[in-house]
Amino acid sequence: MNILVCLKQTFDTEERIVVENGKVKEDGVKFVINPYDEYAVEEAIRLKEQFGGEVTVVSVGPSRAEEALRTALAMGADEAILADDPALFGDEYTVAKVLAAIARQKNYDIIIAGNQAVDDGSGQVAVRLAEELGIPHISTLTKLVVEGNQVTGHRDAEGDEEIVTATLPVLVTAQQGLNDPRYPSLIGIRKASKKPLAHVTLADLGLSEEDIRPRTEIVDTFLPKPKEAGRILQGELQDQVKELVQALIQVEKVVG
The DSSP secondary structure of 172-210, one letter per residue, reads: EEE-TTS--PPPPPHHHHHHHTTS-EEE--TTTTT--TT
Tell me which of 27 and 167 has the higher pLDDT.
Answer: 167
DSSP label of 33: E
Which of 161, 159, 143 is closest to 151 using CA atoms? 143
CATH code of the domain occupying 2-199: 3.40.50.620
Q: By mean pLDDT, which of 33-37, 45-49, 154-158, 223-227 is the weakest? A: 223-227
243 phi-psi bin (left φ>0, alpha ψ -120 to 50, beta other): alpha
Q: Please tell me the predicted confidence (pLDDT) of residue 253.
A: 72
> Is 179 within 8 Å of 76 (Cβ atoms)?
no
Q: Please tell me the predicted confidence (pLDDT) of residue 256.
A: 64
Enter the pTM of the model: 0.86
Domain coordinates in residue numbering, the chain:
2-199, 225-256
d(CA 43, CA 51): 12
Q: How far is CA 88 from CA 64, 102, 131, 213, in A?
A: 15, 12, 19, 9
Mean pLDDT confidence for 105-125: 93
pLDDT at 86 over 90: yes
pLDDT at 11 over 70: yes
Count Cβ atoms below 10 Å from residue 22 Cβ, excluding itself: 10
d(CA 48, CA 76): 9
> Is 41 within 8 Å of 5 (Cβ atoms)?
yes
